[in-house]
Amino acid sequence: MKLNIVEILKGNYIEKEIVVSGWVRTFRNNQFIALNDGTSNQNLQVIVDFNKLDSALLKRITTSACISASGKLVASQGKGQLVELIANKIEILGDSDAEEYPLQPKKHSLEFLREIAHLRFRTNTFGSINRLRNALIFGIHTFFQDRGFLNIHTPIISASDAEGAGEMFRVTTLDLDNLPKNEQNEIDFSQDFFGRSSNLTVSGQLEAELAAMALSKVYTFGPTFRAENSNTTRHLAEFWMIEPEVAFNELKENADLAEEMLKYVIQFAMDKCPDDILFLDSRLLEEEKQKPQNERSEMGLVEKLNFVVNNNFERITYTEAIDILLQSSHYKKKKFKFDVKWGIDLQSEHERFLVEKHFKKPVIVTDYPKDIKAFYMRQNDDGKTVAAMDILAPGIGEIVGGSQREERLDKLLQRMKEMNVPTEEMYWYLDLRKFGTCKHAGFGLGFERLVQFVTGMGNIRDVIPFPRTPKNCEF
């Protein structure tokens, strides 16, 4: 039988003849091979009789060599494993020069591993991260599909700026060394491939709204791009977004859906990858020991995930959040780096204080000042705030952002004018408000933020296989 290591470790194959393939982690005493195939962090011990193997073959069994081993699976006599393979045949599928191979059997820093991202899949840490990433992808689709949502593919190349941010990657086929100009000496995009200026999408939300206003419940799960020059542990230039849009929903139902989704997918990942969660929990514990006492997390990874799954999220308005921050001893002792006053965009330190210190549970903050939010959010009757909501989680701050959308044509036009959003180019978005408008709502979940939260990784560049950041576009 040809088996994966995870099947071997979970099944009952003792005394069976099997074949297993993988990459050599270590080879001790010309006798004990620690073999790993990426299906689990656990290695399978393969025992070879060096007296029966050709010496030239033995020399080729080096760290990261790819081999196939055939033989009988037996109960292990040694410590550290339940079963081991007594090999009667070893085949080298791919040689590896042990002198050149950069991942020697020792602890490597995450910074070093980012430099060799094409090989870091072969470490236990990145094996666990990518198995959990896969589980979260599947969990998200399962959650929405089980609730009757349709998955919609929204365009990656777009002519609109959904967030009004302006920090977009331009898409063009024009000759950059000889750009065509019009009479105003501006770039003549009429000669470009699409006949107009176009860019990589910053969000699929607006197009998802179009679908929701005919199909009721939809969600997107696709790549999005921001050309922000942000060299932080929380930002990427290319990342994946989950964006559900639901016709007839208002803000409370939107928050309910987001809370339910987060709890579901976190539990889904914990159920699918318990060994990986435990490995990353131990890894985080060791990492925390290196930090000063006052910078250590109050909860371990497993505790933090259970904390989110088992607690009802606290719900407060933005105004209440500001009042809590202003009344806090943290503020009075000037422990916040950023100022606190009504009208500010809450910083990560403010968000984490609300979650980790004050409420000690996840928090949903609603009704933000309209001046710090996007044009499409529904204006509240007070004239100052919009029906927006953010979900704040321990250790990371904001993990979900959403709103009830402005369905009233006159209000939307007024807001677009105030924010200099071109109405002519957005005719299709405005048409939704002309032809059968209704209340609707949605939210966005940055997938890598979710993976970061579930894995406990401190840097978002470590939860996507090939991070795209300023001055970095390897592979």
Tens of pLDDT, residues 112-145: 999 999 999 999 999 999 999 999 999 999 999 9
Residue 107's pLDDT is what? 87
Specify the 3-state DSSP secondary structure of 398: strand
Q: Which residues contact 152 (CB under 8 A, 6 or more apart)?
A: 204, 207, 208, 211, 215, 218, 219, 220
Residue 113's pLDDT is what? 95
pLDDT tens, 20-65? 999 999 999 999 999 999 999 999 999 999 998 899 999 999 999 9
Specify the 3-state DSSP secondary structure of 27: strand
Burial of 58 (0-12, 13-18, 19+ CB in 10 A): middle
The per-type count for the chain, helices as H runs and strands as E runs, is 14, 16
C-alpha–C-alpha distance, residues 283 and 269, integer Å: 18
Residue 165's pLDDT is what? 57
Structure letter (DSSP) for residue 320: H
- Measured from the Cβ of residue 420, the count of other Cβ atoms closer than 10 Å reads 8
> Is 371:343 a contact under the CB 8 Å cutoff?
yes
Burial of 448 (0-12, 13-18, 19+ CB in 10 A): buried
CATH architecture of 5-106: Beta Barrel (2.40)
Q: Which residue has the tokens 């964006």?
A: 243
Q: Where are the domains of the chain?
A: 5-106, 122-167+202-462
Query: Could you read off the pLDDT tens digit of each residue along the chain, which spans 475 residues?
Result: 999 999 999 989 999 999 999 999 999 999 999 999 999 999 999 999 999 889 999 999 999 999 999 999 999 987 778 999 999 999 999 999 988 999 988 889 999 999 999 999 999 999 999 999 999 999 999 999 999 999 999 999 998 776 665 689 999 999 999 999 999 999 999 999 999 999 999 999 999 999 999 999 999 999 999 998 888 888 899 999 999 999 999 999 999 999 999 999 999 999 999 999 999 999 999 988 888 877 777 789 999 999 899 999 999 999 999 999 999 999 999 999 999 999 999 999 999 999 999 999 999 999 999 999 999 999 999 999 999 999 999 888 899 999 999 999 999 999 999 999 889 889 999 999 999 999 999 999 999 999 999 999 999 999 999 999 999 998 8
Both tokens of 10, joined, read 């979970």
> Is 140:265 a contact under the CB 8 Å cutoff?
yes
CA 2 to chain centre: 33
Q: How are the residues of the chain apportioned to helix, strand and coil, as percentages rounded to the nearest 5?
A: 35, 25, 40
Distances (CA, A) of 117 to 126, 239, 246, 332, 407: 10, 16, 38, 44, 45
Residue 290's pLDDT is what? 85
Residue 166's pLDDT is what? 61
Residue 164's pLDDT is what? 61
Residue 395's pLDDT is what? 82
Residue 295's pLDDT is what? 75
Burial of 106 (0-12, 13-18, 19+ CB in 10 A): exposed
CATH homologous superfamily for the domain 122-167+202-462: Bira Bifunctional Protein; Domain 2 (3.30.930.10)
Give kind and range of the element (H or E) at residue 88.
Answer: strand 83-94
Residue 132's pLDDT is what? 98
CA 341 to chain centre: 31
Angle, in degrees to the nearest 10, between helices 301-310 and 274-289: 120
pTM assigned to the model = 0.94
The angle at the Cα of 453, spanning 310 to 259, to the nearest 5 degrees, equals 45
